């Protein structure tokens, strides 16, 4: 009997310590006219790919996976579907930084010295990216995703063992519960990571029932996936254009059970939207968020926007990523540790016959 084996080609990257595995080959074309439709299909019919690459023995839940797919928008050079422990976020800053870096460093998108524009299509829409290339390496990525908005303010929930937790709900590619860390005696230092994870887990489980799950343009986006802990803000000088640069300790919990190593791009965007709503930051100002492990992203306030009935905010996130590995992994579909029930049909044929979504670069 012939072994049922398939091969996946991966580019492993990290941004701020968060690992993203970019799948560039080994997955067949997915149904759907847009990247969002492809992501919905994968979530509904092919979730085995996410579970495989984020679970032992192939991966770890703290990682992310980004599948390169055919874009639908004429401006986009590639599409990408984001997969994490919590499911399928529609947009992610760190995953966008990693995906753009991987495509450029690998040559899948031709890389040019200096400043270079790249457009990728996420399930949430277009990510407009500026890559800075120095001496043949991508040293920074600045990405502008979909606008963020404050959905609800002044919420609270009773969390077992922790008492009342107050929070605001902000959309920035997914819904974030924004929590003032000082109210719960967190300074967001490295020694608090286990305690923050336990707190985040208890909070999300308590807060989810009845919480908003609908985006005015994207429809049902699922239950609350993220809690973002906000430290104190301090002024840290001026930007090159004379605007204010702020700094703040920050941490993001991803349900279930993951505390991000980076301060997260969408968490930073959500923070900017909340600060702008409160008049604490203005167009042109920047916020540098610092994770418990010391990694940093810089968020910059752009102009105002509108999402449905919500006043919203355009912003950019700047960070860097490193390419760590280029590998081919063998997926043994007869291995009892591999659940092939919703996996085999999305993988390319073993001979490589048929088009592969992962090489659809314009």
Catalytic annotation, pick one of 92, 250, 315, 348: 92
Length of the chain: 362
Active site residue 92: yes
CB atoms within 10 A of CB 28: 16
CA distances from 19 to 120, 165, 297, 315 (A): 19, 30, 15, 23
The answer for residues whose C-beta is within 8 angstroms of residue 34's C-beta and 6 or more apart is 72, 121
> What's the pTM value of the predicted model, to 2 decimals?
0.94
Question: Cα–Cα distance between 166 and 177 in angstroms, integer?
Answer: 9
DSSP 3-state of 136: coil
* The pLDDT of residue 240: 84
The pLDDT value recorded for residue 255 is 94
How far, in Å, CA of 85 to CA of 217, rounded? 24
Alpha-carbon distance of 162 to 140, in angstroms, equals: 39
* Whether 286 contacts 193, CB under 8 Å: no
| Confidence at residue 359, expressed as pLDDT on a 0 to 100 scale | 52
Contacts 24+ apart (CB under 8 A), 190-195: 190/292, 190/293, 190/294, 192/292, 193/251, 193/259, 193/292, 193/293
Label residue 197 left, alpha or beta by phi (over 0 means left) and psi (-120 to 50 means alpha).
Answer: alpha
pLDDT number for residue 2:
63
Start-end ranges of CATH 3.10.310.10 in the chain? 5-143+322-359, 148-319
Q: What are the φ/ψ torsions at residue 225 (nearest 5 degrees)?
A: -100, -25
- pLDDT less than 50: residues of the chain: 352-358
Class of residue 248 by CB neighbours under 10 A (exposed 0-12, middle 13-18, buried 19+): buried
Give tens-digit pLDDT for 171-220: 999 999 999 999 999 999 999 999 999 999 999 999 999 899 999 999 99
The torsion angles phi and psi of 6, rounded to 5 degrees, stand at: -130, 160
Q: 5-143+322-359, what's its fold?
A: Diaminopimelate Epimerase; Chain A, domain 1 (3.10.310)
- Residues 248 and 239: their CA atoms lie apart, in Å, by 16
DSSP string for residues in 73-86: STT-SEEEEEEBTT
Q: Does domain 148-319 have CATH number 3.10.310.10?
A: yes
């Amino acid at each position: 009997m012939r072994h049922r084996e398939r091969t996946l080609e991966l580019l492993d990257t990290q941004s701020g310590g968060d690992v993203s595995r970019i799948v560039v080959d080994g997955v067949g074309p997915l149904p759907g006219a847009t990247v969002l439709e492809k992501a919905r299909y994968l979530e509904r019919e092919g979730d085995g790919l996410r579970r495989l690459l984020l679970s032992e023995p192939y991966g770890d839940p703290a990682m992310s996976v980004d599948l390169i797919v055919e874009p639908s928008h004429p401006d986009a050079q590639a599409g990408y579907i984001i997969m994490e422990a919590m499911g399928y976020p529609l947009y992610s800053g760190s995953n966008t930084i990693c995906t753009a870096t991987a495509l450029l460093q690998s040559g899948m998108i031709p890389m040019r010295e200096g400043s270079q524009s790249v457009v990728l299509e996420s399930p949430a829409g277009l990510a407009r990216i500026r890559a800075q290339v120095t001496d043949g390496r991508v040293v920074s990525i600045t990405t502008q995703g979909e606008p963020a908005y404050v959905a609800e303010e002044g919420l609270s929930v009773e969390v077992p063992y922790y008492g009342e937790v107050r929070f605001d709900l902000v959309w920035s590619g997914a819904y974030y519960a924004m929590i003032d860390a000082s109210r719960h005696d967190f300074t967001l230092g490295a020694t608090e990571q286990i305690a923050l994870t336990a707190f985040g887990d208890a909070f999300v489980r308590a807060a989810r029932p009845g919480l908003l799950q609908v985006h005015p343009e994207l429809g049902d986006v699922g239950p609350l996936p993220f809690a973002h802990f906000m430290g104190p803000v301090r002024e840290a000088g001026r930007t090159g254009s004379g605007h204010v640069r702020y700094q703040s300790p920050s941490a993001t919990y991803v349900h279930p059970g993951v505390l991000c190593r980076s301060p997260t791009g969408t968490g930073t965007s959500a923070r900017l939207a909340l600060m702008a709503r409160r008049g604490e930051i203005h167009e042109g100002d920047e916020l540098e968020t610092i994770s418990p492990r010391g990694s940093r992203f810089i968020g910059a306030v752009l102009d105002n926007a509108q999402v449905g009935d919500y006043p919203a905010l355009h912003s950019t996130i700047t960070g860097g990523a490193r390419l760590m590995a280029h590998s081919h992994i063998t997926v043994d579909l007869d291995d009892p540790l591999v659940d092939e029930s919703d996996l085999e049909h999305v993988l390319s044929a073993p001979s490589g016959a048929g088009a592969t979504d992962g090489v659809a670069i314009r």
